[in-house]
Homo-oligomer: A and B are copies of this chain.
Amino acid sequence: MFVAFVGCFAAGTLPSRGEEPALSEAVVRAAAALREKALAGTHAFEILKSLTVEVGSRFAGSMGDAAAVAWGLRTLKKLGLSNVHSEAVKVPRWVRGPASGEILRPYAHPLALVSLGGSVSTAPEGIEAEVIEVASLEALKAVQPEAVRGKIVFFNQKTERARDGSGYGKAVDVRSRGAIHASQAGAVAVLIRSIGTDQNRLPHTGGMWYDDKVPKISAAALSNPDADLLAAEIASGQPVSVRLRISNRELGQAESANVVGEIPGREHPEEIVLLAAHLDSWDLGPGALDDGAGCAIVIETARLIAEVAEKPRRTIRVVLFANEEFGLSGAKAYAKAHEAELARHIAATEADFGAARVWRFRSRVAPEKLAAADAIAKLLAPLGVARGDNRTHGGADLIPLRAARVPLFSLMQDGSHYFDVHHTANDTLDKADPKDLDQNVAAYATFAYCAAEMNGGFGEAPPFPQKKQ
């Protein structure tokens, strides 16, 4: 008893009277050993290199996507996971064609731009129109419709750099829904300042959505320097005209797949600790950070734990999701196919925020199970990871698990530079640092091992507030 108490104290859990501590002394020791082993060096960078060199870009439904599924299957098998298989997922098939644009007046310049993902094409000769600049969706509402009608709306909203990536959420609505609002106001096309924190002439793509009740208009993102230039011309007070040509194709649906591999639990194989990442990327680049790094982190985490002499009590399941970027197809398919076992998903986390170090550990567990999450947090502290709150939203692919009240966790990576390359051609292997990936694996391995081995689970996650419409 004394020994057990010392053990849980070392892990920072003070059990309720008469309860077993979440983490036994032996589990704390084993988790710490895994953590230190990972810190000493992992294969994560090599796995990421293999994905970016042997596959590269892998947008939903593309040849690269199919190659990525094959890569995922052979990699998980090679690295010793069990029950490696794919689960079919239907994905929308949108194919980027050429996109170009230029300022015509008052000062002519070519523009570095890309179609937003899902944008319809312009007429072959393009659209030529005057540009009206607004700062946000809110600002657009304040503009008189006659000032917008027949024009190209330029959403000039900057993305703030932030460690927690919060600048993205504040800015991204002009990308995802700007075309709907602009079209409702009578605009003929949309240009946005890239949702990104860099100053490279490599524009950021990303998903955009239409409303079937509103005419679909083309939308493209300018690189930040090009947005600066367009804004400078507009600031001159002269009317500014732009020509925009976009040619994309909608090809219905295509086949893709979630890739799954496991370390079967030795005592409760039916209980699942889910380690998620997404296998797809945008089409502009090899998606090293988004989300090659996440794939490498969760794969290497599983490989490391699979090497432990005694397998954890619960099953650790790695899922590399299909088509996160363009509609969460894989996540929805998984939630549906695994509906019956979602109640036995005792924990889920997704690595989908690049390759920088983990700095905060957030949770979403039953209030009475906070001590268990805190105990894991104590084991993460030596990695420079602070304990965050209990209100994490988890990753995008975990959204369909919310209704089942699956406990969620976020090992938050430093996002200060993530949005420099996110959804651009610049998302390449060199942006990942091997030692930072090792720290990630150390954090994920610590978390996953503890969650799979601990006494009791995390209960039911608190429900999410209803979305305001």
Contacts and interface: CB of A to CB of B under 8 A. Distances in A.
Contacts of A49: 232
Nearest to A108: B56
A253 to B, nearest CB: 24
B431 A199 contact: yes
- Which 7 residue pairs of A and B lie closest in terms of their CB atoms, listed nearest first? A225-B428, A201-B425, A199-B430, A53-B232, A56-B109, A200-B200, A201-B426
A383 B428 CA distance: 39
Contacts of A224: 430
Nearest to A226: B428
A198 to B, nearest CB: 9
Given A225-B428, A428-B228, A430-B224, A56 B202 contact: no
A233 interface: yes
Q: How many copies does the complex hold?
A: 2
B428 A199 contact: yes
Interface string A195-216: 0000111100000000000000
A224 B431 CA distance: 12
A406 interface: no
A101 to B, nearest CB: 14
A229 interface: yes
Given A49-B232, A425-B112, A107 B430 contact: no
Interface string A222-242: 001100110011001000000
B429 A225 contact: yes
A131 to B, nearest CB: 15
Nearest to A55: B107
Given A200-B426, A201-B426, 17 more contacts: A52-B229, A53-B107, A53-B233, A54-B107, A55-B107, A112-B425, A199-B428, A199-B430, A199-B431, A200-B202, A201-B425, A201-B428, A202-B202, A225-B429, A228-B429, A229-B428, A232-B429
Contacts of A165: none
A285 interface: yes
A402 B199 CA distance: 39
A286 B232 CA distance: 14
Interface string A419-441: 00000011011110000000000
24 contacts: A49-B232, A52-B229, A53-B107, A53-B229, A54-B107, A56-B108, A109-B286, A112-B425, A199-B426, A199-B428, A200-B202, A200-B426, A201-B202, A201-B285, A201-B425, A201-B426, A202-B202, A225-B430, A228-B429, A228-B430, A229-B286, A229-B428, A229-B429, A232-B429
A431 B430 CA distance: 22
A340 B199 CA distance: 47
Contacts of A229: 52-53, 286, 428-429
Nearest to A49: B232
A237 B386 CA distance: 44
A49 B231 CA distance: 12
